[in-house]
């Protein structure tokens, strides 16, 4: 298992190292020597918990809502 530094996580997520450090408790981290490191499995868990999936509808489709469009006549 390879551990990732805050710099690695920042590059992976497309954020700054400061963001990684401020969210480290939410992500999950471990200390090795004097360094903070992140497990790839913790990163996956963090992302999975925040991933929104499209809901699949079952049953009858809803009636389409009619849009009422007013015709505006411009006075010249």
Give residue limits of the domains in the chain.
Answer: 6-49
Query: pLDDT for 17-63, tens place per residue?
Result: 999 999 999 999 999 999 999 999 999 999 999 888 777 666 666 66
Is 0.75 topped by the overall pTM?
no
Question: How many Å from the N-terminal Cα to the C-terminal Cα in the chain?
Answer: 75
């Amino acid at each position: 298992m390879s551990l990732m530094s805050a710099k690695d996580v920042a590059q992976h997520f497309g954020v700054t190292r400061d963001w990684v450090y401020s969210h480290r408790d939410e992500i999950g981290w471990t200390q090795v020597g004097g360094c903070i490191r992140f497990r790839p499995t913790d990163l996956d868990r963090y992302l999975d918990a925040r991933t929104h999936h499209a809901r699949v509808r079952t049953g009858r489709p809803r009636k389409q809502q009619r849009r009422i469009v007013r015709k505006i006549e411009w006075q010249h």
